Chain A
Amino acid sequence: MNMLISFFSGLVFGLGLLLSGMNDPQKVRGFLDVFGDWQPELIAVMGAAVVVFFLAYQLGLKRKQPFFSDLFHTPMLTQINARLLIGATLFGVGWGLVGLCPGPALVDLLAFDSSVIWFVFALLVGNRLAHYVVGPAR
């Protein structure tokens, strides 16, 4: 059952990224090009996603536990520290360089374009590198 829910969640998420154009690196770079040829449409995509998540989360909070799990796995970290800022900055630079972030990159794997495969492979290497060099946040 959990696998089915995961599959359906991923399917909806991926379809959303695809239909909204969030999976298109050119569109993402256009969105980030605030001082040039700015294409602000993706604000609506992220804004709508945040609103939908907010409402769903409020509904979820009314329940003791999820339908298909023992507890809600909500993040425990709350502090704003150098680690968070450095990580977010490095991610932002990489995001700006080619216009891909993890979710859309996975969706774009199905384009069977070697560029995406190179990116996702490097992404996994970067993730493991951070794990073994820096380690998980406490």
Chain B
Amino acid sequence: MINITSSKPLLVVAGLLVGFGTYIGNGCTSGHGVCGMGRLSVRSGVATVTFIVAGVVTVALMNVFGVQL
């Protein structure tokens, strides 16, 4: 089963960002990442690269600063 160790405040901040961001950007991993990329949409390709890079940078920064949330 899943194991979530993130604190409640972090979960809420992350949830707000994901909810707000997917609305503004019109899609998430499924919408842009799978369906958009599968339709060979350039717009979805750009969105997918953008959110993956943002995710990679976020995880890297959390590791660099030793954020244990």
Q: Which residues of A contact B (CB under 8 A)?
A: 13, 23-26, 29, 32-36, 46, 49-54, 56-57, 74-75, 77-80, 83-98, 100-103, 105, 108, 111, 113, 115-116, 118-131, 134, 137
Instruction: Give the interface SS of chain B, mostly helix, strand, loop or mixed.
Output: helix
Is there an interface contact between A118 and B32, defined as CB atoms closer than 8 Å? no
Is there an interface contact between A88 and B38, defined as CB atoms closer than 8 Å? no
Is there an interface contact between A92 and B51, defined as CB atoms closer than 8 Å? yes
> How large, as a class, is the contact surface on chain B?
35 or more
Hey, which chain B residues are within 8 Å of A56, CB to CB? Answer: 38
Contact of B11 among A33, A52, A118, A129 (CB under 8 A): A118
Is there an interface contact between B4 and A97, defined as CB atoms closer than 8 Å? no
Contact of B51 among A24, A36, A77, A88 (CB under 8 A): A88
Interchain nearest-CB distance for A82 vs B (Å): 10
Complex CA gap A111/B3 in Å reads 10
